[in-house]
Amino acid sequence: MPGYTLDTDIVIALLKGDIRLLTRIQTAQASGASVSIGALPYCEILRGFEKLGNPVKLAAFQAHCQSFGVLLVDSLSILVRAARIWADLSVKGMLLEDADILIAATALEKGCVLVTDDSDFQRVPGLGLENWLV
């Protein structure tokens, strides 16, 4: 059973109350799959709530994260993978933002499927992708 890591757009949809998404997450967890959020999506969402100064939404976000866990960029292998992804995409003229490259590298190194609505991630060879918003 693969683990899943949620991209920023998916977490935002969850926080907006997308019931289909909540059902998919619960189904995955009930089947024994881990569901997490990466460190970069966590930071991207956290900084938005910090900027807005909305403690209610910040608390809801943090509650979701406690049930998921956060995938950290905690090894050199993630950084090496990110550098290789960057080099490969650069040669092909298909670069992604650095944050997206680190999100992809983290998912690959942690053995997770990236759940996203962002088709740009299809550029990353070998990255498992699912879109739970369709």
The answer to whether 38 and 103 have CB atoms below 8 angstroms apart is yes
Per DSSP, which regions of the chain are E strands?
A: 3-6, 35-38, 70-71, 112-115, 129-130
> Taking the alpha carbons of 69, 27, 110, 14 in that order, is the dihedral positive or negative?
negative
pTM: 0.94
CATH tag, 3-130: 3.40.50.1010
The answer to whether 9 and 120 have CB atoms below 8 angstroms apart is no
Domain ranges in the chain are 3-130
pLDDT, averaged per 10 consecutive residues of the chain (134 residues), comes to 91 92 93 94 92 87 86 95 98 96 97 97 97 94
Q: What's residue 75's pLDDT?
A: 93
